[in-house]
Amino acid sequence: MRGGPGQLLAGRYRLTDRPEPLRAFAVDEGTGESVLLRAVELPALLTAGQDPDEPNPAHGERLVRRVAAVGSAAPSWHPRLLRGVGAFVEGELLWTVEERPAGQTLAELLAGGPVSPYRAAELAADLAGALRVLHEAGLAHGNLTADSVLVCEDGAAMLGGLLSGTAQEALAEDLGGPGGRRRYEVRATLVGSVAERWPLDGGPAGDCWALGVLMQRMLTGRAPYPEGGVAELVTAVRDGRREPSVVCGPLAPLAERLLQPDPTLRPTAEAARRELAALLVGAPEPADGERAARAVELKPDAPLVRQRPRRRGGGGRPEVSGEFNGAEFNEAGTGGGRAPRIPPSLLGPLLVGGVFLLLVVGMVAVVLFAG
């Protein structure tokens, strides 16, 4: 896509930065809110009796109606669901529009490395809650990936990508039919080798499987299935060839059940949400993954350890203490705990002087009583 900041799409969406090929940020001039635009390329639809090079002008309009129907049916009130705003065709692109609060995608967050088990549980619980309301509305998401999840500034996860996923699946079906090799090829081009997008089954059970894949990605930084190419990925999913869920730590039992090949053995989104919430209640570490204010075990590669500030008895300002090579230190930088009140070098002279003073007092007292 060409263009840049200030360009207006569909007479309503003003771009706020230079767009990527199939993605752009904009402001909805009708409402003033920030939105994310995602695009799907629209190749010519081949139909019986048409010239192979002749595009079908109704193709994009039909896809827009399908996307709009899903957007209208989706619950817009849930705090963990990004609201789909609309869809439109411009040129050879079908654009979907969804709200975009401040935050970063989960993919951007994971670029810095995996998250702790309880942070992953917190994010997964938010996503399971969003999936639950979609499933109760009779919808499946089908596009649960690290790119479709927004981690907001308050740390909560919001699930987006519903409309763009719908557009991709609808286009694959239109071009390739409801099944078969042609649909697989089109879908592979649109979706790529992203493990969460290739469950053996669709619907709510497929969403729950994708949640299990995403949980393992959050905890290890990689999918449990190989993603070198679509064919390799699909074969591994079909054969059940994946990294064991034991790498997920306390989330391993849930991840194992979510990744069951038999969809009837997988927990529902609501059951997964309840299990994650119960795990968070007993979390031995902060759910947000922040450990800075907690005592930390001494490790060989980190000899200097910062512990939780302790207050002296009776209040007052905190006293920070810790260990360095086995010697205790305080905030003044001295060793050995509280400093003695009298230097050791003065103890001898003071003791002799005290004895002499007592003798003088005793002699004075004898003289006074004898007189």
In this structure, what DSSP letter does residue 27 have? E
Question: CA dihedral defined by 360, 362, 363, 366, rounded to 10 degrees?
Answer: 160
Structural domain tally of the chain? 2
Here the tokens at position 241 are 């060839």
For residues 265 and 303, membership in a common domain is answered with: no
User: CA-to-CA distance for 137 and 93, rounded, in angstroms?
Assistant: 29
**Do 328 and 190 share a structural domain?**
no
**Rounded-to-integer distance, Cα 223 and Cα 214, Å:** 7
* Tokens standing for residue 3: 């263009």
Residues with Cβ within 8 Å of 43's Cβ and at least 6 positions away in sequence, in order, are 92, 175
Residue 358 belongs to a domain:
no
Task: Check whether 143 has a pLDDT greater than 80.
Answer: yes
Token pair 């759910």 is at which residue? 287
Q: Please check whether residue 370 lies inside any domain of the structure.
A: no
Q: Which two tokens stand for residue 319?
A: 């006293």
- The answer on 323 and 220 residing in a single domain is no
Residues 160, 234 share a domain? yes
231-265 pLDDT per residue, tens: 999 999 999 999 999 999 999 999 999 999 999 99
User: What average pLDDT does range 136-163 have in this prediction?
Assistant: 97
Sign of the torsion angle spanned by Cα atoms 88, 90, 93, 99:
negative
pLDDT tens digits, 23-70: 999 999 999 999 999 999 987 543 333 444 455 557 788 899 999 999
Please state the rounded mean pLDDT for residues 112-129: 97
Q: Is residue 94 part of a domain?
A: yes
Residues 301 and 187 in one domain: no
pLDDT at 126: 98
Residue 116 scores a pLDDT above 60: yes
Residue 305: the pLDDT is: 31
pLDDT bucket at 83, cuts 50 / 70 / 90: very high
Helix, strand counts (H, E) of the chain = 10, 14
Nearest to 210 by CA among 116, 138, 142, 109: 142
Average pLDDT over residues 111-138: 97
Q: What is the domain extent for residue 271?
A: 8-281
Backbone angles phi, psi at 29, to 5 degrees: -70, -15
CA 153 vs. chain centroid, Å, equals: 11
Q: Residue 310's beta-bridge partner residues? A: 319
Same domain? For 41 and 107 the reply is: yes
Q: At what angle do helices 269-281 and 203-220 cross, to 10 degrees?
A: 30
Q: Do 330 and 216 have their domain in common? A: no
> Considering the domain boundaries, does residue 369 fall inside one?
no
In a domain, 367, yes or no: no
d(CA 351, CA 349): 5
323 and 272 inside one domain = no
- pLDDT score recorded for residue 369: 57
Let me know whether 243 and 326 are in one domain.
no
In a domain, 135, yes or no: yes
The answer to whether residues 247 and 327 belong to one domain is no
C-alpha closest to that of 217 among 330, 366, 113, 290: 113
Model pLDDT, residue 248: 96
Q: What is the DSSP string of 79-103?
A: TTBPPEEEEEEETTEEEEEEE--SE
How confident is the model over 182-196, as a mean pLDDT?
94
Q: Which of 214-223, 282-291, 314-323, 353-362 has the lowest mean pLDDT?
A: 314-323
Closest CA to 337 of 301, 299, 310: 310
Indicate whether 305 and 184 sit together in one domain: no
The reported pLDDT for the residue numbered 355 is 64
Q: What is the C-alpha to C-alpha distance for residues 80 and 150, in angstroms, rounded to an integer? A: 9
Q: Which residues contact 92 (CB under 8 A, 6 or more apart)?
A: 41, 42, 43
Residues 268 and 300 in one domain: no
Least confident of 18-27, 80-89, 134-143, 214-223: 18-27
CATH number at residue 29: 1.10.510.10
205, pLDDT greater than 80: yes
Confidence check: pLDDT of 324 > 50? no
**Band of pLDDT at residue 361, cut at 50, 70 and 90:** low
167, containing H or E segment: helix 162-176
d(CA 286, CA 308): 14
Residue 268 is classified by DSSP as P
What would the two tokens of residue 251 be? 């989330």
**In the block, which residue shows the tokens 């979390």?**
283
For the residues of 112-141, what is the DSSP string, one character each?
T----HHHHHHHHHHHHHHHHHHHHTT---
What does R_g of the chain's alpha carbons equal in angstroms? 33
Q: Is residue 2 included in any domain, yes or no?
A: no
- 320 has pLDDT over 50: no
Q: State the pLDDT at residue 60.
A: 82
In a domain, 365, yes or no: no
In the beta sheet, which residues pair with residue 90? 93
Sign (positive or negative) of CA dihedral 113, 119, 124, 129: negative
